[in-house]
Structure 1
Amino acid sequence: MEISDIKLRYNCEPCTHLKTSAFSDGFCLQCEEEMCQRCFDTHKQFKLNRGHQLVHSVEAKSKSKERTKFDNCTKHLNKYIEFFCPEHGQVGCGDCMVISHKPCKIKNILQHIDGYKNSAEFKQLKKDIEKYDGEARSMLQSIGRSKDHIKDVNKKFALDVKLFRDEIISHITKLADAMLKYGDDIMAADMKKIENLEKENKSLVDETNGMRVTLQSEVDQPYKLFISSLSYTQNLHLFHHQLERIKYNNTIETYNFKRDCNLEQLVKTCKQLGTVHKPKESDNGSSVLCYPKETVRENRATSTKKAQHSPANQPLPGRQLVCKKLIIAGEFISFAEKANGYLGLFINTHTVKHRDIFEIEIVSLGSGGVIAIGAVPDDFPDNLLPGLGNDSHGYHSDGSVYQN
């Protein structure tokens, strides 16, 4: 300390502002102003100023030099970040602590940064960063395999479609192209999903790498190291949830092409090339069959005239007039397991004429109920079996024939 510093006297800045004259008794560290004792006592009466300190001006210069390594508070630009709240893991100036963390036990940063880089807490933080960085990199590899899997599945799907298309007559090539497009749409949707996951995961890798580089550069800067560590600790909690969500969504549904066996016999009148088969188990243990487009269900009144001209060997989806609570797969009809109600109904568009013949093969009777086939008038009630209403004829799976 120099003699000139000791003898140097400053004017009280609040008194000067009030156009009075008084020598300073010290320097308020928080306000960075020279004050006399009277002004400082008045100054501390306000709630926000009760933690302020008055020190000797020479000591203040030393403190001021020490403060040059502090960061400015983002909320109070004329203040420094000197304190932290262990409970919330947040840092700030004295005003921040008074306003937002009054009930908490606030601690001074300078008292905790010595030796922090050798602390168990900091070592654990670095381990966690490495752990999540490793998981993120591993997930990138898994996502890469998923992308290859998407391409392999689609390649096999396309080969099956093209092979089957080449075995049948040329006029159904357009149907094959439509089915290929359906497969490409599935691939595009899956690729978009995976690429979004890949982009999100790469950003996590970039962030963890940035954390590692920052911490390495701040190893010899305890204050900055501590601030960064608190921030990264909070971020890693979010990283964990993001990685779990990415891991959960990184699943690709396999699909392949399934031929329509009856199509080989009815190819000239067929309206679909086959089905997209996904080996996904449903509740009843059967495979799920997906069609490129929903079959349009026409109204009885508008379809009766068209029905009279429908060929007898037209595939089921093309000649249905009414279909309720049933599943159509190729030339097979089955009752929908989860359908509400007891009656599954399929009405053919074909108008029955004298001496007309039609055949239906019952593959399985199921666990219960009755299967009935027959001919009914156009205005026949939907809740009656054929043969149980006026002008109807039906054969039932109990072995009986019913008329009228």
Structure 2
Amino acid sequence: MEVSGRKVFNEDNNLLCKPCEESELSTRADGLCRECGEHMCKSCFDTHKKWKLNRGHTLTSSDETVTEKENAEDLEKCEQHFSELIKFYCPQHEQVGCGDCMILEHKACKVEYIRDKARVFKSSQEFETLVQGAEKYLSEAKEISSSIKKNKIQALDINEKFLKDVNMFKEELITHVNKMTNVILKQGENIRVKDMKSMDVLEKENEDLIIEISRLTEMFESQIDQPQKLFVSSVLQKPKLNQLREQLDSIQGRNKIESYEFQRNDNLERSVKDGKQLGSVQIIKPRNETDVKEEIKPKERTPLPQVPVPRKRQPLLDGQWICRNIAVDGEYLSYADNGSGDVGLFVDKGYDKGYDVQYFEVEILSLGQRGTIAIGVVPCIYPENHQPGWGEGSIGYHADDGLLYNGTGTGKTFGPKCNVGDRIGCGIIGITVGVFRCKEKYHIPLST
């Protein structure tokens, strides 16, 4: 292994033999002993190889020695050993270094001279691959740069559309609320106009009546000193007084207005208050050519053994009586939105057999988008788009607000809202109806 040594030149700038120099002779070196790192002439090298330890040493040619001299300026200095030049390459670790680096860190490795590698490296496949790779990476980097600029423009366009859609939805909601507001305000205005017209008519009738009664009163007062005339007038005006009495009673009976107040839409208020945000930001996964090819490319599948699959038992599907907008899978029910927001309804005919004791439970596996789940008991003739408990003769427990509805649109506080994993039960015992909220085997009966 070569260790960097001192190089001595003569006046013609030729390398001198190191052993001859030690004998005070100036002999031109014929080559370099790679293992010792000393320049020698042919005679000294032959003597050098006679020693047992030096028999495997090799002498470089004179041309290589001159080339080393000419290329010495191209070598870089080692960062760890500042006075040494980087001249060796370790293929095993793909590292370069000086002689000290090789001795200390790559003693067991088969190192190579960098100058030997450099002679053919420029025309090698390895260098060509590096150049092609660099060119390819540069092209990809330029394409990425162009793509980044396009994405910046697209990001602005996407955000502009996003803002437009959000504001449009807000305006649509405001417009819809304004329409509903105008409708209900119009109803109140119609009642007001009707009451004012009625009161105007009564006010006119009452003013005319006051005038007639005042005339009678004045006539009686004017005849107070004429007893006979007063008696005759009283007899003659008695039917008139009776008529006035009837008119007064009529006015008094019609002197009424519509008493009304604003009743909030509980469902609308609940949906607005329960809504945590106006909408959601839906991330759209970009599709490129690679994704499409992967989808089209058939995947290799290992054929599975043909094992008979037993038919899934469908007890709810077999026993359904009414099923509207509800998907049935075994013992599981899920709401299937038809796009118009209609209520999902499922009635099992097993609970219409006249038994004294009937009971069922449902476990909430998912709240869905709105989380509106209700169970209860309703009459045979009941609107299918009404939740149980809203209509007369029905009772229902609504999981989304934890309220009990007993035949009215106004619920009573029952408990906390139900969530995923909760169980809700409903039972009929004789003529007593009970709705139960079940969680961890804890039942709360509600009787009516």
Indicate the TM-score class for this superposition, using the shorter chain for normalisation: 0.3 to 0.5
Structure showing greater relative contact order (alpha-carbon pairs closer than 8 Å, 6 or more residues apart): 1
Q: Give the TM-score, by structure 1 length.
A: 0.38
* Bigger CA radius of gyration: 2
